Amino acid sequence: MKTVSTLLIAAVASALVTSACGSSEPAAPVPVYYGEVQRILQESCVECHSDSPDRLAPFSLASYEDAVAAAQTTPIAFAVLHRTMPPYYAQNDGSCQTFTSKWLSEEDLQTLVTWVNGERAAGDPARSLPPPTPAPPLPAVDATLDIGGDYTPDPRVSDDYRCFVVDALGSSAAEKFVTGAHVSPSNFTVAHHAILFSLDSAQAEADALARDAADPALGYRCSSSGPTESGATFLIGWAPGNQAQLFPAGTGIPVVGNRKLVVQMHYNLATSDGKPDRTRIDLDLADTVASRGAMVAVRGDVNLPARTPDATASGTRRLPTNLGKLRVWGAALHMHQRGIGAEVSVAGSQPACLAKLEQWSFHWQHYYPYVNAVPVAGGDTFSVTCHFDTSNDATPVRWGEGSADEMCLAYLYVSQ
Ligand code: HEC
């Protein structure tokens, strides 16, 4: 989209300038691998592109030899200039908040592209950096939720949404606060995303248990909009590439201690190895927190005209006026396959852009945490706008869970 074309034009223009008047200007130092390109790859790529057998990405960028081989055989410059890699799509140039995701700075991007497109010099191995330390696990694991057995996603459908009722976190009704989570599917060829829900009432718990009992296989079939019609609250979301997730210090989402929870898995069968999955979720819990948190969902009204390259869906949600001062800590967006971008913002006491995605991939549905929380207040209104390409649709597209339908949702983590 806009950023991509600007970058490509800039890249082409700078190549022309360099070749036309390269001799009259002092040559820019040519980047080398050790200590320089190595740092960029370690900071932004190696978490997935490692040499570990359970790495997420199909090739390694962890050593000089790996990086040279990948530069020869994969479109690294293209992927980083388009910002499809690393796969963090929230605009992170400061124009709409600053996120902790590993978006490449303009400078690092140019260094990497120059190295990939040039001689790919090694430099001085003495400047080699130590291997990156793996992402920190949770500070404490107070409970492990388990979907209860091996579940083989239904090969007759392309997307299998499955809900699993899991144990309550405590034995009494006293509230527990979820302060962090680490989701571990066992089969990454099918696990597309996972959502942990709390159930809003005893009725919702009874409904979930009844649906589970009525379905002969492990868990029960459930729609992408949630585990029951009688009310469930989004606690934790996971998508491929997500590491352990910790809510900001002092905050956590309350759940009723002795009420069961539901793990909803979205299994996508496109690259399935046919084997089952057994997802587990480690939780860090607290008995009290300084600030109660919640995931606030903002839903866009999906009613898209056919054959439209930029069809939009939008919607708003007003915070109750009695809430006082609040903070937003991060945002996630959800659309299906036709999504091409989205924005979420807040109007009211201090209007602000909250997240802007200039491209979209169904496969990378990240939660983007802010470097600094954004102040909002009761009575403020959140707005979401999603952009879709319906060029290949002969009929209008409406809200729904199937791949023929679409969704437009923003999730904001808000606390007192
Ligand atoms: C969060 C995990 C993750 C991170 C971080 C990441 N990648 Fe990837 N990368 C993947 C996966 C998975 C694929 C396989 C294709 C896909 O699923 O999109 C991939 C594919 C690629 C490809 C092949 C794309 C193609 O069109 O064939 C390139 C090139 C690439 N990555 C480069 C990078 C570079 C360079 C970085 C860092 C600047 C990076 N990636 C960071 C996960 C990641």
In order of their start, the domains of the chain are 2-127 (no CATH), 143-289 (2.60.120.310), 293-415 (2.60.120.230)
Ligand 1 centroid to residue 371 C-alpha, Å = 24
Among residues 282, 279, 385, the alpha carbon closest in space to that of 340 is found at: 385
Q: Beta partners for 94?
A: 97
Range 211-237 burial, b when 16+ CB lie within 10 A, else e: bbeeeeebbbebebebbbebebbbbbb
Among protein residues, the one whose CA lies closest to atom 8 of ligand 1: 85
Pocket test for ligand 1, best of 39, 43, 49 (most atoms within 8 A of CB): 49
59 CA → ligand 1 middle, Å: 8
Q: Which residues are near ligand 1 (CB < 6 Å)?
A: 44-45, 47-49, 56-58, 74-76, 79-80, 85-87, 104, 241, 363
pLDDT band of 7, cuts 50, 70, 90: very low
Read off the pLDDT band of 65 (50, 70, 90): very high
| pLDDT confidence of residue 136 | 66
Contact 351, 343 (CB under 8 A): no
What pLDDT shows up at residue 23?
Answer: 46
Q: What share of the chain is helix, strand, coil (3-state, %, to 5)?
A: 20, 35, 45
Q: Please give the share of the chain, as a percent, with pLDDT higher than 90.
A: 74
Provide the H-helix boundaries in 218-298: none
pLDDT at 283: 97
Residue 286 amino acid letter: A
Residues in the chain: 416
**Torsion of Cα atoms, 152 then 243 then 367 then 183, to 10°:** 40
Instruction: Give per-residue pLDDT as tens, 14-62.
Output: 443 344 444 455 667 899 999 999 999 999 999 889 887 667 788 999 9
Asked if pLDDT for residue 5 goes beyond 50, the answer is no
DSSP state, residue 394? S
| pLDDT tens digits for range 72-125 | 999 999 999 999 999 899 999 999 999 998 789 999 999 999 999 999 999 999
**In angstroms, what is the span from residue 72 Cα to ligand 1's centroid?**
15
pLDDT in tens, 141-198: 999 999 999 999 999 988 899 999 999 999 999 999 999 999 999 998 889 889 999 9
CA dist list (Å): 220 to 3, 161, 402 = 43, 9, 17
pLDDT of residue 4 exceeding 80, the answer is: no
Whether the per-residue pLDDT at 225 is higher than 80: the answer is no
Closest listed residue to residue 122, CA positions, set 66, 52, 81, 73: 66
Q: What is the pLDDT of residues 323-336, one digit of tens each?
A: 999 999 999 999 98
Please list the residues that pair with 352 across neighbouring strands.
Answer: 346
Q: Which atom of ligand 1 is nearest to the CA of 240?
A: 1
